[in-house]
Chain A
C-alpha cells in the first residue's frame, strides 16, 4: 500500500514538472507582457509582476497596425482552410471511391511533395505568382499555403474515408440520393472528425507560417501577423520586448480557442488516421 502511494506521488510530481517545463515559456510570455517596461530586466527576475499593466496591449491595439495584420491573418488562414478542406475532401473521396489507373501511385506521389524543403520552392513559387500578377496580395499567400497544406490534407482524409464502408454510399444511392447527395448525406458526416483535424491542421499552419509570408509579400498592407509584428517590433537595433510578448499572447488566442473547442475531435481524428493509414 505504502509503495503504491509513494510511486503515485512521484509519478504526479514528475508529470507536473514536465507540464511546468513545457508551459514555462508560455507563462513567461504572459508575465512579461503584463510587466511595466521598468521591471523587464531586473536581476534577479521577478516571477510575478510587481505591478500589472495593460499598456502594451493598449498601445498595440490603438497605436500600431496590429489589428490590420490580425485581420489579414484571419482572412488568409480562413480562406486557406476553406479551400484546402474543400479540395482535399473531394480529392480524398476520389482516391478512395473511384478506380482509375495510377490511383495508388498518385496517392503516394502526393506525399513526395514533402521531400523537398519548402525553402527550395519559394523562389519558383514567387516567380510564378508574379507571372500570374498576384504577387504581394493576400491571395498569393492563400495559394502558397494551399499548395503546402493540400497534400497532407488529402493524405489524412484519404485514410479517414477509406474507413467509411462503401455500402453506406451505395445504400444512399439506392434510397434515392444522387452521387453528390449521398456524398453530402452520408460521407461528409462520417468524415467529420477527419475534416475537423484537417481544418485545424491547415488553420494552424497558415496562422503560424513565417517564411513564405516574409518572401512572398513585401507590402505592408498585405502583411500577416507573423511578419507584420516582427517587422514592426524587431529591428536590428532594438527589440520591443513587452509589445512583442503582448502580440504573441494575442496571436495565440485564436489557436488556443480553436484547440479548446476541437480538441476532442482532433485527437480522435489523428488517432483514426494513423491506425488506418
Chain B
C-alpha cells in the first residue's frame, strides 16, 4: 500500500511562488481532496507528484521511495488530467488501452480490461470513436477510464467530474467512492467543488494562494476552520462573517460591531490573545447556527429563498445582513420582524489582521497534523 508524502515542497515559476513549503502526509489508502479556488496550486501539486514538474526544493515520496528524481513512468501513478489529454489520433478503446500496452500487458488481457473499464463508465458504444467525436462529458469519462484501467500505486484525479451533468456526476461520484472502498487505493482528488470534497474525502487539504491552510477531516474543517479563508470557503451558504471588536470586561466577553453588541461565552477564545482595549476580530456564524427566538435580537426578514427541504433566509440585523436556514414549515415573509439568537456553542472567532482562528478549542500550533489515528 502506498502513502504519499510532501515534505517542505516549494515550487516557484520564475519569481512567482505557486506553492509554499507544502507539508502533506497522505496515508496509504486514503481519499484526499485538494480543495481551493482557481490558481491556488492544486494542479501544480499533482503535476509534481506525477513527475511532470520538478519541485524547486523539498522531497516527495510515494510509499517509502523518494521519487524526486524518478521519471513519470516509473512512479506508478495514474492521472486524470484537467484537460483530459486524450490522444486525438487514437480511438477511445486505444486511448484506454494505451497505459496497459506501455506496461506490456498481453493483448487478450488488455482487451478484457478495456471492456471492463468501458462498461464501468458507460462507454461501450463509443469504443471506436475518436476523441473529437465525443462530447465533453464523454471525453472526461474516457480520461477516467484510461486511469481506472490500470492498477497503480495511487490515483491522481484533477477535477475528473467537472464537465459532467448533475446526474452523471452524482453517479460517477458514487462509482468513485465505491471503487475506492473496493480497491482501497490512495486517491488524490483535485476539485474546487466543496460539496464533492466534503462528501467523498477522508481528509481535505484546503489550499489558498499556494499555501496549505488546513488538512483535516471534512467535519473538522467544517466545525473548526483554522482560518478566515477556510471558514468562508467551506459551506453553502457561506458562513456569516461580521467584523468588530472583542473586549474582555471582567469575566464577560463582549463583541461590538456597529451598534450590535453581543455577549459571548467567556471561554470561547484563548485568553492570551485578548488585549487591553479589545482586539479587532471577525465573528463567524454558520447559517444553521442563526436561530429564531422571540426574545432575541430584533431583526427583519429581507429575502426568503425556499429550496424545498429548507429555506435560506436573509435577515437585516442592525446594519448587517445575516444568512440563516430555517425548516420548510417555518413561514416567513419579507419585512416581517423576528428575533434572532446565535448558537453560542458554535461561534467562530478569527483575528482580523491575519485571519487565524482564536477559539479556545484550537491549540496554537495544532493546524495541519492529523487528529490521532496514525496508521
A interface list, Cβ under 8 A from B:
165, 167-168, 170-179, 181, 185-186, 189-190
**Docked complex: B330-371 residues within 8 A CB-CB of A:** none
Q: Which of B71, B75, B85, B99 has the most CB of A within 10 A?
A: B85
Which of B31-39, B76-84, B175-183, B309-317 lies at the interface? B76-84
**5 cross-chain CB contacts under 8 A:** A168-B85, A170-B81, A174-B50, A176-B99, A190-B89
Q: Which of A165, A171, A177, A178 has the most CB of B within 10 A?
A: A171
Report how far A172 CA is from B73 CA in the complex, Å: 9
Report how far A177 CA is from B47 CA in the complex, Å: 16
Pair B87/A168 contact, Cβ less than 8 Å: yes
CB distance from A168 to the nearest CB of B (A): 5
List the 8 shortest-distance A-B pairs measured between CB atoms, nearest first. Answer: A176-B102, A167-B85, A171-B85, A175-B99, A173-B72, A189-B89, A170-B52, A174-B79
CB distance from A64 to the nearest CB of B (A): 47
Pair A186/B73 contact, Cβ less than 8 Å: no
Pair A174/B83 contact, Cβ less than 8 Å: no
Pair A173/B89 contact, Cβ less than 8 Å: no
Known: A165-B85, A167-B83, A172-B98. 9 other contacts (CB 8 A): A168-B88, A170-B47, A171-B81, A173-B52, A174-B51, A174-B77, A175-B98, A177-B73, A181-B102
**Docked complex: B41-57 residues within 8 A CB-CB of A:** 47, 50-52
Contacts of A189 in B (CB 8 A): 87, 89
Pair A175/B83 contact, Cβ less than 8 Å: no
Report how far A179 CA is from B52 CA in the complex, Å: 11
Pair A172/B87 contact, Cβ less than 8 Å: yes
A-B contact count (CB 8 A): 60
Report how far A168 CA is from B98 CA in the complex, Å: 12
CB distance from A173 to the nearest CB of B (A): 4
Chain B window 275-315, contacts with chain A (Cβ cutoff 8 Å), 1 for yes, 0 for no = 00000000000000000000000000000000000000000
CB distance from A61 to the nearest CB of B (A): 43
Q: Number of B residues whose C-beta is below 8 Å from A? A: 22
Pair A167/B99 contact, Cβ less than 8 Å: no
Residue of A nearest to B79 (CB): A174
Q: Which of A170, A171, A174, A179 has the most CB of B within 10 A?
A: A174
Chain B window 99-110, contacts with chain A (Cβ cutoff 8 Å), 1 for yes, 0 for no = 100110000000
**Docked complex: B83-98 residues within 8 A CB-CB of A:** 83, 85, 87-89, 98
Partner of B81, one of A167, A177, A186: A167
Contact flag A173-B81 (CB < 8 Å), given A181-B102, A186-B87, A189-B89: no
Contacts of A170 in B (CB 8 A): 47, 50, 52, 72, 81, 85
Pair A190/B88 contact, Cβ less than 8 Å: yes
Contacts of B71 in A (CB 8 A): 173, 178-179
Report how far A5 CA is from B79 CA in the complex, Å: 60
Contacts of B73 in A (CB 8 A): 173-178, 181
Contacts of B103 in A (CB 8 A): 176
Report how far A165 CA is from B146 CA in the complex, Å: 18
Report how far A95 CA is from B71 CA in the complex, Å: 21
Report how far A179 CA is from B345 CA in the complex, Å: 57
Report how far A7 CA is from B65 CA in the complex, Å: 76
CB distance from A131 to the nearest CB of B (A): 42
Contact flag A174-B87 (CB < 8 Å), given A167-B81, A181-B102: no
Report how far A32 CA is from B87 CA in the complex, Å: 52
Report how far A174 CA is from B153 CA in the complex, Å: 12
Contacts of A174 in B (CB 8 A): 50-52, 72-73, 75, 77-79
Report how far A165 CA is from B52 CA in the complex, Å: 14
CB distance from B42 to the nearest CB of A (A): 15
Q: Which of A170, A172, A179, A190 has the most CB of B within 10 A?
A: A170
Report how far A192 CA is from B55 CA in the complex, Å: 33
